[in-house]
Homo-oligomer: A and B are copies of this chain.
C-alpha cells in the first residue's frame, strides 16, 4: 500500500507521524527517512525517541550541502546515490512494516532525485512494505502509483496574519 500526502497545507508530515504512532500500537515498526533539513523540530525528534517502534534517519546529508552551498553536479550524484542506498538498506532490513519517505516529493521536484529512481525502489520493495510519500508538488507518477492520495490544502494559515510558529504546536 502506498500513501501520498501532498498539497501546500500543513499536516503532511504530521499525518505520517500519526500513522507511525498509531501503527506502533499494533507493534509495527516504522522507519521515517527525512529528505529535507529543517522540516523537523526537536519536539518530534524527542517524541519519536519515546517509541521504540519508530526509527528516524536522515537520507542524503549531501542534499543539505547542495541546497546550502550549490555544490557541483558530481556531488549531487553522490548525495543522491547515498540517499537511495539508505532507503534500500532500510527496506531490505526486513524490520519495517512502514517506510515514510518524508519530503521525497520535494526532493524530486528540486531534481535532487529522479522520479524513476524512487519508482524502482517502490516496485522492487517487498509486497508487505507500506510506503508514505510526503511533500508538496508530488510528481504525477507518484499520484499514479499511490493507492491513497490526500491533498492537504491550505485554507488559512497563521503566517498570513503575522503570527510566529510556536514550539510544541509546531504548525
Contact surface of A with B, Cβ cutoff 8 Å: 1, 3, 5-7, 9-11, 13-19, 21-26, 28, 41-51, 97-98, 130, 143, 146-158, 161, 163, 166-171
Question: Chain B residues with Cβ under 8 A from A23's Cβ?
Answer: 43, 47, 168-170
Question: Chain B residues with Cβ under 8 A from A11's Cβ?
Answer: 5, 11, 15, 18, 150, 152
Question: Chain B residues with Cβ under 8 A from A3's Cβ?
Answer: 169, 171
Question: Chain B residues with Cβ under 8 A from A28's Cβ?
Answer: 168
A101 to B168, CA, bound (A): 18
Tell whether, in the assembled complex, residue B150 and residue A155 are in contact, meaning their CB atoms are under 8 Å apart.
Answer: yes
7 contacts between A and B (CB under 8 A): A17-B22, A21-B44, A23-B168, A25-B45, A98-B169, A151-B152, A153-B153
A150 to chain B, nearest CB (A): 4
Most buried by B among A45, A51, A167, A171: A171
CB-CB nearest in chain B for A44 = B22
Also in contact, A153 and B7, with CB within 8 A (given A47-B21, A97-B168, A147-B161): yes
Tell whether, in the assembled complex, residue A1 and residue B158 are in contact, meaning their CB atoms are under 8 Å apart.
Answer: yes
A160 to chain B, nearest CB (A): 9
Q: Which of B18, B48, B152, B167 contacts A17 (CB 8 A)?
A: B18
Question: Chain B residues with Cβ under 8 A from A46's Cβ?
Answer: 25-26
Question: Chain B residues with Cβ under 8 A from A149's Cβ?
Answer: 154-157
